[in-house]
Amino acid sequence: MAAAEPKTPAGTAAARRLARSCWSAFWDYETPKVIVVKNRRLGIVYRTVQLLILLYFVWYVFIVQKSYQDRETGPESSVITKVKGITSSEHKVWDVEEYVKPPEGGSVFSIITRIEVTPFQTLGTCAESMRVRNATCDSDEDCVAGQLDMLGNGLRTGRCVPYYHGSSKTCEVSAWCPVEDGASVSQFLGKMAPNFTILIKNSIHYPKFQFSKGNIENRKDGYLKHCTFHEVSDLYCPIFKLGYIVEQAGENFTQLAHAGGVIGVIINWDCDLDLSASKCNPKYSFRRLDPKHVPASSGYNFRFAKYYKVNGSTTRTLIKAYGIRIDVIVHGQGSFLCDWILLTFMNKNKVYSHKKFDKTPEVWPSSEPTPTFCRAALKTWACWGPLKSVAPGAPRSPGQHGLDLGPGPCPHTSTLRRSKTSSQRAPCKPGSGMT
């Protein structure tokens, strides 16, 4: 008897059947079956959902969000400022050079409205300020010689001395004396400050769309010398009174001038560049930037000193200045019809395409011209076959034509130049118009 054939394992057979089934199913063609349900309620729900989706895309996506536009945020911007005005305190008259810091006219500057002056300070020893922690003392043992407090005014000498015109005592320090708290005099400069004028010159540029504009119109009639800003009638006269800025920020000028504060002048350039440039206008808003209700961080002040010589010794006047700091903040968004729509559906799409894409001109060799035919000649060659000299009046077969080409399937055959001898071919030359 012949030996029995070995049985194929069940797993292998199942795998083969699965492979054959998959291979057979791979070549099947499927088509969906549509069932039309005659149900008015179901139809109303179905069409309502379709309508909502359509309204979402038409109203929100296209009208509200304008998603068909390409956008650029954060324009390149420059700001130049200039302050004008004069004010006075109890002791002197102040002009712009003294109360505006820094004087360069940038996007951030301060207008001094109140000062505390400590005059005639010289290097020496004196009582430390009582505001300094652990500065009060009863005897010399309470003061450690050589100790330096980073929040104090100088280096302690180890002596306990009377504080200015009082019964209290503080540790003596080696510093600029007298210290600030002991001899400062307050002066208010805010009397005429609300009438100070501030010119804010701003220009922006959207590099993606090659669009630039400024907040001053090109006028030659001395317009800026006689105008002040008005949101409707004088939008392009960016000259603001300091009192107007503080008022628009919702602050009390007297309180702000006494303690100081930070006011933001926000210029927003939100431009739809599909429209004309005249529709792209700046919008101004004003608000206080520092937290006025937090005593630890509200207000604004800084110190500076003026140095001079008295009898050969260096003397200085220390000034603690309170003021209104102005921060000019520029932001915006430029939007323009997106490239795909612009280059596909617009009437002048070829013009826009030419402006968007640069084409490199063909470079002709500077050496002896290569005897090649112009594009039109090459296309004609492809349509009519090789050009052959045919006697006038002789019958012509397809693909056999003289240089006096008649009608044929290639519309550009009329662009060929006729040479005096039909068997000659003129090579293309740069600037010949045969491109």
82 assigned ligand-binding residue: yes
Residue range 188-194: mean pLDDT, rounded: 90
Distance CA 108, CA 323 (A): 13
Provide the token pair at 85: 């005005």
Task: Kindly report which listed range (14-28, 171-185, 364-378) carries the lowest average pLDDT score.
Answer: 364-378
Q: Before 392, cis peptide (omega within 30)?
A: no
Q: Which CATH class is domain 76-114+188-336?
A: mainly beta
Distance CA 435, CA 396 (A): 29
Distance CA 337, CA 368 (A): 48
8 or 252, greater pLDDT? 252
Q: Give the per-residue pLDDT at 207.
A: 83
Q: Give the per-residue pLDDT at 433.
A: 44
Distance CA 318, CA 53 (A): 69
Determine how β-strand 108-127 pairs with β-strand 169-177.
antiparallel
How do residues 154-174 score in pLDDT, each as one tens digit?
A: 999 999 999 887 788 999 999
Q: Give the per-residue pLDDT at 238.
A: 95
Residue whose structure tokens are 């002789």? 394
Provide the token pair at 394: 């002789």
Euclidean distance between the first and the last CA atom of the chain, given in angstroms as a whole number? 89
Cβ-defined contacts of 243-246 (< 8 Å, 24+)? 243/193, 243/194, 243/195, 245/198, 245/286, 245/326, 246/194, 246/324
Alpha helices in 301-433 (DSSP H): 339-344, 349-356, 375-384
Residue range 343-352: mean pLDDT, rounded: 51
Distance CA 330, CA 268 (A): 6
Distance CA 292, CA 300 (A): 10
DSSP H/E element including 42? helix 40-55
Q: Which of 80, 105, 85, 83 lies closest to 200, judged by CA?
A: 80
* Three-class secondary structure of residue 236 per DSSP: coil
Residue range 200-225: mean pLDDT, rounded: 86
Distance CA 303, CA 356 (A): 54
Which residues of the chain are in CATH 2.60.490.10 domains? 76-114+188-336
Provide the token pair at 210: 């090659």
7 assigned ligand-binding residue: no
Residue range 310-315: mean pLDDT, rounded: 90
301 assigned ligand-binding residue: yes
Q: Which of 222, 216, 179 lies closest to 201, judged by CA?
A: 216
Distance CA 145, CA 172 (A): 9
253 or 8, greater pLDDT? 253
Task: Kindly report which listed range (29-43, 95-109, 199-213, 351-365) carries the lowest average pLDDT score.
Answer: 351-365
Distance CA 251, CA 268 (A): 22
Q: Give the per-residue pLDDT at 424.
A: 45
Distance CA 219, CA 202 (A): 16
329, 106 Cβ separation under 8 angstroms = no
pTM of the model: 0.62
Per-residue pLDDT band for 401 (boundaries 50, 70, 90) equals very low
Determine how β-strand 301-310 pairs with β-strand 239-241.
unpaired
136 assigned ligand-binding residue: no
Distance CA 183, CA 412 (A): 98
How much is the mean pLDDT over the chain?
78
The residues, any chain, with a CB within 8 Å of residue 97's CB and separated by 6 or more, are: 103
302 assigned ligand-binding residue: yes
Q: Is the pLDDT of residue 306 over 90?
A: yes
320 assigned ligand-binding residue: yes
39 assigned ligand-binding residue: no
Residue range 366-387: mean pLDDT, rounded: 45
Alpha helices in 27-95 (DSSP H): 40-55
Q: Which of 272, 270, 269, 207 lies closest to 76, judged by CA?
A: 207
272, 335 Cβ separation under 8 angstroms = yes
Q: Is the pLDDT of residue 426 over 60?
A: no
Q: Give the per-residue pLDDT at 206.
A: 85
Q: Which amino acid is at 52?
A: L
* Three-class secondary structure of residue 28 per DSSP: coil
Q: Give the per-residue pLDDT at 359.
A: 52
pLDDT > 70: what percent of the chain?
Answer: 71
Determine how β-strand 261-272 pairs with β-strand 313-337.
parallel
